[in-house]
Amino acid sequence: MIVRLAWRNIWRNKMRSMVIIASVTAGLFAGMAIMALYKGMMKSRIRTVIDTETGHIQLHAKDFLGDLDPTLFIQGDEKMIATLSADKSIKAFAKRTITAGMVSTPNGSSGVSIIGISPQEEMNVSGLGKKMRQGKLDWPAKTRGILMGKKLAKKLKIAVGEKVVITMTDTADNLISAAYRVQGIYQSANAPLDEVNVYLSRKDLQDMLGLGNQVHEIAVTLHDDTLLHSTVTRLAHQFPFLAVESWKTLSPETSLMAETVDTLSYIILVIILIALSFGIMNTMMMSILERRHEIGMMMALGMGRIPLLMLIMTETFFLTITGIPIALATGTIAIEHYAKKGMDLSGMGKEMMESFGFETMIYPDFPSDKIGFIIALVFATALASSIVPIVKSLRMDPVSALQK
Amino acid sequence: MENAVIDAHNISKTYDPSGIPVPAIRNVHMHIAKGEFVALVGPSGSGKTTLLNMIGGLDHPDSGNIIVNGTDITTLRSNDLVKFRLHNIGFVFQAFNLIPVLTAKENAEFIMLLQKEKKAKRDERIDLLFKQVGLLDKKNIRPAQLSGGQQQRVAVARALASKPQFVLADEPTANLDSASAFNLLDMMAKLNSEETMTFIFSTHDQRVIERAKRVITLVDGQIVSDATPLQY
């Protein structure tokens, strides 16, 4: 009876109930859309980090990443290469020689990370070739070529084919310089990195640093993201003399951002629901005051506190949860649509998003893992919204209510 | 008093709505036996509704005791009073007070539902009552589609559904036309005799007073006469 009476009561004033149900639906839809967008943005950012910046895992000599000391190269890399090649979790790996240096042009100079790479290996690990905007990811045999980011090229006012001078310290602490011709200009989704990373032929850099065939970094990509933890553990066990680090350690800001954005999306949803709870509470209060006489009559007839509490609470729940299936259905359709088509956010500020390392085409991801939590939050909202109306109705005196 | 359904001893009630004490009931003694058909009469403000509310456990006297079937209801706590009303008293209000979103049948079985009676028992009782009040063909429609007289008959069916010890009716015919009022009174008189149900109603209505078997007259919160209609 309580359920039947509660359901019919909320439809006494159809317009008022429809407005509040529509508000809950819109609020939930907005909350889900924000969660999906944030999840899509973070997945995109993490994908960018793994696919184009760090790979899944990197191996270095211990302490190398502290100040890029060129003498801290990886020892015994041939045996290591064989081990990595045989590992079934590993999809590809790229060996890199890295040092800190400076790029100078007649227009200025800039501190950079100079990275010696093999084009073929990079294609498989970082997809550098796909980021080329001018020129090619290739080094003609007798030409010293350098690849630099679009942002750095713009800063130094340099174009493809023009010369730059790079300066660095070799493994014997000698300051060395060499002239290079800009072979190509790349642009990634991470503008800050584009300003500091320049690429040379690994062989050239090894020769300049006096390293022979030694490398400073091995970047590894895996067949599946879920293999990350187990592979890091296994490699750390196999190569105890090396620092074996996942992208989460190498790019802590991304890992932190993912957690922060997750929390932020919950906070936004909670704020939306708190705002809605006032509307729901107001509607219930109006409903109760309008039915004051009727509630007094029911109390006079022998309706106790518990059934009355259940009636008011059930009405509040109906008002609140009726919007859930509508919001879930419309939210799923909209999110699935944009998950396939993509949502172009370049209009919101392409440069700003790239400066934070985000792609501007976002593919929202339906937060299916959070649906249970969202529904629990909505139920909590209904419960919270019903408290004041319940207290108000329980405090009614049947005699005075019947006189109204 | 033996066989008394209601035994009120020296009850008084004073309201103090704006700092000025207004005595509503003064030292009233009253005994009502099972199966009586009693009219409480008197001018407006004489204390009829206050007395009914106190007998019904909706209001507390300032002093005195009201014993219903051996239970002193003035000593019951709020929750116990609710249970007491639910299981012992039927109410009929002047304004019918049916729940508009429930059908006539659902309204009538409301108290039985609160008492958690089984569906079969409810259906049997409601069908019998609707037959007695002449609304068997209208049990599935909502109050708004019924006339005032029909709504009050549903209210009487609701009051009787749980077979209470007695029914309290506060001016039950006040909002009814003559024909509806006579029909209702006939029906209540019939139920009074068939089900030995005790009826106590406050009224100004001479038609109601003439049908009563006992008329208690209140003036200024005091019983000034207790007689048969012919003596009244």
pTM for the structure as a whole: 0.74
DSSP run (H or E) holding B129: helix B119-132
Cα–Cα distance measured from residue B166 to residue B215, given in angstroms and rounded to the nearest whole number: 16
Q: Write out chain B residues lying below 8 Å of A9, CB-based.
A: 101
The pLDDT of residue A141: 61
Q: Do the Cβ atoms of A162 and A25 come closer than 8 Å?
A: no
> CA of B108: which chain A residue's CA is closest?
A301
The pLDDT of residue B31: 92
3-state secondary structure of B40: strand
Q: What is the pLDDT of residues A54-103, one digit of tens each?
A: 899 999 998 888 888 888 998 766 788 889 999 999 999 999 999 999 99
Are B110 and A1 in contact (CB < 8 Å)? yes
Cα–Cα distance measured from residue A348 to residue A360, given in angstroms and rounded to the nearest whole number: 9
Considering only CA atoms, give the Rg of chain B: 17
Q: Write out chain A residues lying below 8 Å of B58, CB-based.
A: 300, 398-399, 402
Cα–Cα distance measured from residue B189 to residue B200, given in angstroms and rounded to the nearest whole number: 12
Beta carbons within 10 angstroms of residue B147's beta carbon: 12
Cα–Cα distance measured from residue A401 to residue A364, given in angstroms and rounded to the nearest whole number: 53
Cα–Cα distance measured from residue A209 to residue A99, given in angstroms and rounded to the nearest whole number: 9
Q: Do the Cβ atoms of A383 and A314 come closer than 8 Å?
A: no
Are B79 and A303 in contact (CB < 8 Å)? no
Are A294 and B87 in contact (CB < 8 Å)? no
3-state secondary structure chain A: CHHHHHHHHHCCCHHHHHHHHHHHHHHHHHHHHHHHHHHHHHHHHHHHHHHHHHCCEEEEECCHHHHCCCCCCCCCHHHHHHHHHHCCCEEEEEEEEEEEEEEEECCEEEEEEEEEECHHHHHHHCCHHHHEEEECCCCCCCCCEEEEEHHHHHHHCCCCCCEEEEEEECCCCCEEEEEEEEEEEECCCCHHHHCCEEEEEHHHHHHHHCCCCCCCEEEEEECCHHHHHHHHHHHHHHCCCEEEEEHHHHCHHHHHHHHHHHHHHHHHHHHHHHHHHHHHHHHHHHHHHHCHHHHHHHHHHCCCHHHHHHHHHHHHHHHHHCHHHHHHHHHHHHHHHHHHHCEECHHHCHHHHHHCCCCCEECCCCCHHHHHHHHHHHHHHHHHHHHHHHHHHHCCCHHHHHHC
Residue B2 has pLDDT above 60, yes or no: no
Strands A197-201 and A108-117: what pairing? parallel
> CA of A401: which chain B residue's CA is closest?
B58
Beta carbons within 10 angstroms of residue A293's beta carbon: 15
pLDDT band at B16 (very low <50, low <70, confident <90, very high): confident
Cα–Cα distance measured from residue B71 to residue B51, given in angstroms and rounded to the nearest whole number: 17
Chain B interface disruption, residue of A12, A287, A292, A297, most B CBs within 10 A? A297
Taking one residue from A and the other from B, the number of pairs with CB-CB distance under 8 angstroms is: 60
The pLDDT of residue B1: 46
Q: What is the pLDDT of residues B130-159, one digit of tens each?
A: 988 888 899 999 999 999 889 988 998 999
The pLDDT of residue A136: 82
Helix, strand, coil % over all residues of chain B, rounded to 5 = 40, 30, 35
Closest CA to A300 of B58, B30, B180: B58
Are A302 and B58 in contact (CB < 8 Å)? no
272-311 in chain A: CB under 8 A from chain B: 293-294, 297-305, 307
Q: How far is B55 from chain A (nearest CA, A)?
A: 12
Are A398 and B56 in contact (CB < 8 Å)? no
Residue B102 has pLDDT above 70, yes or no: yes
CA angle B56, B211, B188 (to 5 degrees): 55
Strands A343-344 and A145-149: what pairing? unpaired
Chain A interface disruption, residue of B48, B49, B58, B76, most A CBs within 10 A? B58
Chain B interface disruption, residue of A8, A293, A310, A402, most B CBs within 10 A? A402
The pLDDT of residue B13: 93
Cα distance between the two ends of chain B: 23
Q: Mean pLDDT, to the nearest integer, of B56-84?
A: 91
Using the Cβ of B165 and the Cβ atoms of chain A, whether some distance falls under 8 Å is answered with: no
Are B59 and A399 in contact (CB < 8 Å)? yes
Q: How far is B97 from chain A (nearest CA, A)?
A: 7
Closest CA to B9 of B54, B62, B59, B65: B65
Chain A interface disruption, residue of B50, B102, B112, B114, most A CBs within 10 A? B114
Are B114 and A301 in contact (CB < 8 Å)? yes
DSSP run (H or E) holding B209: helix B206-211
Q: Which residues of chain A have pLDDT under 70?
A: 76-77, 140-142, 404
Burial class (CB within 10 angstroms; exposed 0-12, middle 13-18, buried 19+) of B86? middle
Residue ranges of the domains in chain A? 2-49+255-403, 63-240
Cα–Cα distance measured from residue B207 to residue B163, given in angstroms and rounded to the nearest whole number: 26
Residue entry with tokens 């708190």 = A274
> CA of B98: which chain A residue's CA is closest?
A294
Q: What is the pLDDT of residues B158-200, one digit of tens each?
A: 998 888 888 999 888 887 788 878 888 888 888 888 878 899 9
DSSP B195: S
Residue entry with tokens 């045996």 = A79
Cα distance between the two ends of chain A: 26
Cα–Cα distance measured from residue A356 to residue A41, given in angstroms and rounded to the nearest whole number: 11
DSSP B6: E
Q: Do the Cβ atoms of A135 and A160 come closer than 8 Å?
A: yes
Q: Write out chain B residues lying below 8 Å of A398, CB-based.
A: 58
Are B79 and A304 in contact (CB < 8 Å)? yes
Q: What is the pLDDT of residues B79-101, one digit of tens each?
A: 899 999 999 999 988 888 899 99
Using the Cβ of B142 and the Cβ atoms of chain A, whether some distance falls under 8 Å is answered with: no
Are B85 and A12 in contact (CB < 8 Å)? no
Using the Cβ of B82 and the Cβ atoms of chain A, whether some distance falls under 8 Å is answered with: yes
Using the Cβ of B122 and the Cβ atoms of chain A, whether some distance falls under 8 Å is answered with: no
Dihedral in degrees, nearest 10, Cα atoms A147, A151, A154, A158? -10
Domains of chain B: 4-227 (3.40.50.300)
